[in-house]
Amino acid sequence: KAIMSASDQSIPTTTLSLIIHDDAINSLSLDHSLAHATELEYPSEQPNDGAQLVVSCNNWICTVSIEDEIVLYNKTTNECHVVPDTSDELPHLMNYEKQSSPFYGFGYDSINDDYKVLRVQQFVSKDCNSFKSEATLYSVQRNSWRKTKGIPYYIHNPQEPGVLVGGTLHWLASAKPSCNVPCLIRTFDVAAEKYGVVPLPEGIGHGHRLTLSVLGGSLCVISYGYKVGFHIWVMEAGTVEESWTKLLSQPWRPLAYPESTKEDGKKRHAEDESSKEGGFKKISRAY
């Protein structure tokens, strides 16, 4: 079934909604309570618990089942489109081991009024010092897949979909698989079908756990970790380091806990003999 174009179904709205996926896919209006969550009909022969939410765009959500079946579903009109199989088997690369699962991105091409799905499979060398990637791109207008250039940077978490901002997909990446910490943000322009790079905010390094998200229509980086604290950066405009603005910064603090309870029922807190700070024992715990 053909998918309605974004220009045909674009309706100005200020209503915010949240898509929740657990055993089922639910849509929740942020103007109401959790009791008003609406379960969406998953338009596939695969069970709901076999689908993972990939990304949403213009009321469309893209899901991938455990069998790699891709479905595009409009939560407003209940229209659906089952994406055909890629059919082409990825080549076996000598000295490379295929990653357990591919990663996906879904976005809207505003120039050609087309929706596209990007599928990338990474092959990691046995010593984890190098990798290769194979990428295919699906066009709803053409209803077909075609091979495209693979991402030249290693994507650390294939379970996390590309974050879509302004027609561009974003992933955390590094130069090679052996790097445990992402060093940059890799991008893919859905319309131009070109890759790009966005540097991470200054000051992010070892010990930081990172997540990409969207805040107020802008790309944001969430950083947290042991003795690192919790920080949020927002990219206001452009793709240069100076455009990152730190929106929130919460320093890491040790927590105190009750060690035992007295016979009268009152809690007695453990005392740190080395510091004697307030009669509390400091423990190391990340956010």
What pLDDT, on a 0 to 100 scale, did the predictor assign at position 242? Answer: 56
> What is the per-residue pLDDT for 232?
92
Checking if the pLDDT of 226 tops 50, the result is yes
Report the half-sphere exposure of 81 (CA within 13 A, side-chain side): 23
Query: First-to-last CA distance in the chain?
Result: 46
The pLDDT confidence band at residue 118, using thresholds 50, 70 and 90, is very high
Give the least confident one: 16-20, 72-76, 143-147, 208-212: 16-20
- Assign 48 a pLDDT band (cuts: 50, 70, 90): very low
Long-range contacts of 36-45 (CB under 8 A, 24+ apart): 40/73, 40/75, 41/78, 42/71, 42/73, 43/71, 43/73, 43/78, 43/80, 43/82, 44/69, 44/71, 44/82
pLDDT over 70 (residue 181): no
Sequence ranges of the domains in the chain: 1-83, 86-199
In the three-class reduction of DSSP (H, G, I as helix; E, B as strand; rest coil), residue 46 is classed as coil
pLDDT of residue 284: 39
Instruction: Please state which of the ranges 8-17, 53-62, 97-106 shows the lowest mean pLDDT.
Output: 8-17
Full-model pTM = 0.73
What region does 265 belong to: left with phi over 0, alpha with psi -120 to 50, or beta? left
Instruction: Report the distance separating Cα 33 and Cα 23, nearest Å.
Output: 20
Outline where the chain has alpha helix (H): 6-9
Per-residue pLDDT at 116 exceeds 70: yes
Cβ(46)–Cβ(73) below 8 Å? no
> Positive or negative, the Cα torsion across 211, 215, 220, 221?
negative
Question: What integer is the mean pLDDT of 241-263?
Answer: 71
- Which pLDDT does position 26 carry in this prediction? 56
